[in-house]
Amino acid sequence: DQQVKQNSPSLSVQEGRISILNCDYTNSMFDYFLWYKKYPAEGPTFLISISSIKDKNEDGRFTVFLNKSAKHLSLHIVPSQPGDSAVYFCAASAGVSSGTYKYIFGTGTRLKVLA
């Protein structure tokens, strides 16, 4: 059972336009949500995160929105640049015990920004 879902395997966007990547989750107990970017043959790198008590977090060109009632988060990249072409994973963090958490990752969306 996939608790974190990224239903779009790929997305193509023109340079300078907005990229919107979506993520849905099923577990209302998730405390924290993160987005990672991954280039080929490299490990994922952290991009931006949001706590479950917030609905928006912004960092430069990247904004994450959280809609808890819909169990949905999205990553907006404005303006999109060719260097943003990568696979994007969303992840959710759930408490396990004794203040420990573990992450559940989505399946990823491949973003291609066209010059």
Partner 1 sequence: NAGVTQTPKFQVLKTGQSMTLQCAQDMNHEYMSWYRQDPGMGLRLIHYSVGAGITDQGEVPNGYNVSRSTTEDFPLRLLSAAPSQTSVYFCASSKDRGLGEQYFGPGTRLTVT
Q: Which residues bind partner 1 (CB under 8 A)?
A: 4, 6, 9, 31-32, 34, 36, 41-46, 49, 89, 91, 93, 96, 98-108
Closer residue to partner 1 (CB): 86 or 108: 108
Residue 105: beta bridge partners?
Answer: 91
Q: Are 77 and 65 in contact (CB under 8 A)?
A: no
Q: How far is the CB of 103 from partner 1 (least distance, A)?
A: 6
Closer residue to partner 1 (CB): 9 or 16: 9
Q: How far is the CB of 93 from partner 1 (least distance, A)?
A: 6
Q: How far is the CB of 16 from partner 1 (least distance, A)?
A: 28
Q: Are 70 and 7 in contact (CB under 8 A)?
A: no
| 80's tokens | 């999109």
- What is the rounded distance in angstroms from the CA atom of residue 38 to the CA atom of residue 106? 13
